[in-house]
Amino acid sequence: MPEFFTDTPLLTQRFDDALHYAIAHHALQLRKGTPIPYAAHLLAVASLVLEMHGDEDEAIGALLHDVVEDGGGPPALAYIEAHFGAAVAGIVLANSDSVTGEAEKAPWYERKRAYIAAFKHKTPAALRVSLADKLHNARSILIDYRTHGEDFWARFGQGKGLATRVYYRELAAAFEREAPRMGEHAAPAIGELRRVVDAITALAEERQGPDTRVSFDWT
């Protein structure tokens, strides 16, 4: 089968510069509870965004989506805007549930509720990056839960993982609500997230019994 080509590169030096910046920022960071370099997640998220036909700004936003939240804070956000543009900075900010230092972060539950509540205000580009991020995380959760059993949830400091499962069910529902704004090429990833989240829930129910809580209390 012949290869296909484009007349001009879809990813430019900006993407290369963002990749180097992201890898340098996360150089010592590992995926939670594993020896896997954090860069693996960034590359996976960028790949998923491109598979949704995202443009270069979205791909760069995918590479940088955790820089501000994971220690960079406001100075990193300013750097991103200056070097990669306001559109990329907006994507990164929309995908950061905190821009403060670790000690100043709101409690986990508050941050996750606020992140999902803001979906209706996020741009389609920011939503596609978020979807790629959450889909890769959910896939990793399912694989590692199947592999390591109940000990896996200790990585999150959550006992039996109920809070994580509730959060991912809320995420799947939120992306389904926003699907019309995200474009036809995001639809397969939205469907895949739902299938993975349902598989995580089914596995937990098989091992632990029915979850005592299905979703956030929005009242």
Of residues 218 and 111, the one with the higher pLDDT is 111
When pLDDT is cut at 50, 70 and 90, the band that residue 105 belongs to is confident
Q: Residue 15: which pLDDT band, with cuts at 50, 70 and 90? A: very high
Is 181 within 8 Å of 124 (Cβ atoms)?
yes
Per-residue confidence (pLDDT) for residue 43, from 0 to 100: 98
The tens digit of pLDDT for each residue in 60-69 reads 999 999 999 9
Q: Which residue range(s) make up the domain with 57?
A: 13-208
**Assigned domain for 7 exists:** no
- The answer to whether position 35 is within a domain reads yes
Q: Is residue 195 part of a domain?
A: yes
Tell me if 163 is assigned to some domain.
yes
Q: Decide if 87 is inside a domain.
A: yes
What are the Cα distances from residue 41, in Å, to 3, 24, 48, 78?
Answer: 27, 14, 11, 23
pLDDT band of residue 101 (cuts 50, 70, 90) is: low
Q: What is the DSSP letter of 30?
A: B
pLDDT exceeds 60 at position 219: no
Question: What CATH number does residue 97 fall under?
Answer: 1.10.3210.10
Classify residue 180: in a domain, yes or no.
yes
Q: Which own/partner contact pairs does 80-84 have at CB distance under 8 Å and 24+ positions apart?
A: 83/17, 83/21, 84/14, 84/17, 84/18, 84/57, 84/60
Split into its structural domains, the chain has a count of 1
Residue 115 lies in a domain: yes
pLDDT digits (tens, 9 = 90+) for 127-169: 999 999 999 999 999 999 999 999 999 998 888 999 999 999 9
Residue 213 domain-assigned (yes or no)? no
Mean pLDDT of all residues in 178-199: 98
Query: Of 133, 203, 214, whose CA–CA distance to 167 is shortest?
Result: 214
Residue-level pLDDT at 103:
59
